[in-house]
Amino acid sequence: MKKCLKITFGDQFPEGFLHGSVQAHARACSVEGIAQVITSEGHVKIIACGEKEAVDTFLEHLHKEFEKAKILDIEIEPFLKDKDYRGVFRIIQ
């Protein structure tokens, strides 16, 4: 079963967090999607899609990384996939 999530959090995060933690865990879990810094709104948006188990594992990794980085203002909601991410997880800055 496929699952997609939209995860948003504030744009204050450690250097290398998106590439070193988010993208690395997405690739390890075979999750596709994007992480995009939206500076005009002051937050980061992550779209993660894949098999339910893979997305759940990715989310568990993210919670651990958020805790380490002391990121508190996290919103997670279901998302309907509207693009083909072609099996890749990209960082857009």
CB 69 within 8 A of CB 17: yes
Instruction: Decide the pairing of beta strands 2-10 and 75-78.
Output: antiparallel
Distance, CA of 44 to CA of 92 (rounded, Å): 10
pLDDT at residue 44, rounded to an integer? 96
Q: How many domains in the chain?
A: 1
Beta bridge partners of 10: 43
CATH number reported for the structural domain that contains residue 25 in this entry? 3.30.1370
33 belongs to a structural domain: yes
CB 77 within 8 A of CB 6: yes
Domain that holds residue 70: 14-82
The pTM assigned to this predicted structure is 0.92
Six token digits for residue 55: 């997305």
Question: In the chain, which residue ranges form alpha helices assigned H by DSSP?
Answer: 17, 24-28, 52-69
92 belongs to a structural domain: no
93 belongs to a structural domain: no
pLDDT at residue 75, rounded to an integer? 97
pLDDT tens-digit profile of 38-74? 999 999 999 999 999 999 999 999 999 999 999 989 9
56 belongs to a structural domain: yes
